Amino acid sequence: MATVGAATAPKGGWDIESVAAELLRCEDGQIERPPFTDEWPELDLDTGYKIQDLNLRKRLERGEQLVGVKLGLTSRAKQVRMGVDFPFVAWLTDAMILPVGDPVPQSKLIHPRAEPEIVFVMGKKLEGPGVSCAMAMAAVESVWGGAEIIDSRYKAFRFTAGDVAADNASSGAFVTGPIGVPPTQLDLSLEAVLVEVNGVVVDSATGAAVQGHPGEALALAANDLARRGHAIEAGWIVLTGGMTDAVFAPPGASIAMHFTHLGSVFLNGGKD
């Protein structure tokens, strides 16, 4: 839990460097804070991405490995809940990998929530612009079910697009399911998931909830990253975005995401 509070704006106001440093400090210290746009309304999506990229450099400098990308807010369910009505992209490092069977790492997180996602492992490099769903799927090696544990550094997950892009799209941890299949084997728009919390099914969706087809989300990521000067590399993991709204993952919770063909992903809420 937090031992120190959120920082107030530096003299002269927030800028890219000070927001980046404060976000990493909040992440490392499990400190929640108000969104920066309360004090810096000009923090837009482009500025948010600059902050995100600066913090990726800092993560790599401290020894983390870049393992892929995640999409945020690719489904209506997520967009409506978070009040941001377009998708965006953020970075995944190896520090965010949750080994199968490990509990939710409560001691590293502020207020974790879990969401079911279709996950791709890339077989080929994918570089925008101009990438379509079919082109994107042709670069995928295998498709997995997964769960992302999101953890916004903003109190009550209240943020604008600029805030959440800066905060690496609420990245926390992610776990992949038991079965990987070649992408030609499934109609991902019809792949369903049931979200179960403490034995009760609380939500469900199919892959179509994610931009019509999760391959559209992958294409979007490639095209979006091209504007930022990056490609999606062979071997990377891509989390295509929550299919349903996220559920709270507090200590003691027992959460399962049951996919039609991709198996079940189990999350144990762990201890305080």
Binding site for ligand OOG (CB under 6 A): 70, 72-73, 78, 82, 115, 148, 150, 152, 157, 164, 169-170, 241-242
CA 113, 119, 125, 128 torsion: positive or negative?
negative
Residue closer to ligand OOG by CB (options 2, 80) is 80
Residues of 117-148 as b/e, b for ≥16 C-beta within 10 angstroms?
bbbbbbeeebbbeebebeebbebbebbbbbbb
Q: How far is the CB of 195 from ligand OOG (least distance, A)?
A: 13
Residue 27 touches which of Mg ion, ligand OOG, none (CB < 5 to 8 A by kind)?
none
Chain mean position to CA 183 = 21
C-alpha–C-alpha distance, residues 65 and 61, integer Å: 9
Q: How far is the CB of 136 from ligand OOG (least distance, A)?
A: 17
Question: Do 88 and 45 touch, CB atoms closer than 8 A?
Answer: yes
Is 163 near Mg ion (CB under 5 A)?
Answer: no
Span interacting with Mg ion, options 17-25, 144-152, 158-166, 205-213, rule CB under 5 A: 144-152
Is 148 near Mg ion (CB under 5 A)?
Answer: yes
Question: Do 178 and 263 touch, CB atoms closer than 8 A?
Answer: yes
Q: How far is the CB of 75 from ligand OOG (least distance, A)?
A: 7
Residues of 231-262 as b/e, b for ≥16 C-beta within 10 angstroms?
ebeeebbbbbbbbbbbbebeeebebbbbbeeb
Question: Do 84 and 6 touch, CB atoms closer than 8 A?
Answer: no
Q: How far is the CB of 74 from Mg ion (least distance, A)?
A: 8
Integer angstrom CA distances of residue 116 from 16, 176, 247: 32, 10, 10
C-alpha–C-alpha distance, residues 123 and 68, integer Å: 12
Residue closer to ligand OOG by CB (options 36, 184) is 36
Residue closer to ligand OOG by CB (options 33, 70) is 70
Residue 73 touches which of Mg ion, ligand OOG, none (CB < 5 to 8 A by kind)?
ligand OOG
Residue 112 touches which of ligand OOG, Mg ion, none (CB < 5 to 8 A by kind)?
none
Is 146 near Mg ion (CB under 5 A)?
Answer: no
User: What's the one-letter identity of residue 176?
Assistant: T
Q: What x/- string results for residues 217 through 256 when contact with Mg ion is judged by CB under 5 A?
A: -------------------------x--------------
Using CB under 5 A as the criterion, which residues of the chain lie in contact with Mg ion when the complex forms?
Answer: 148, 242
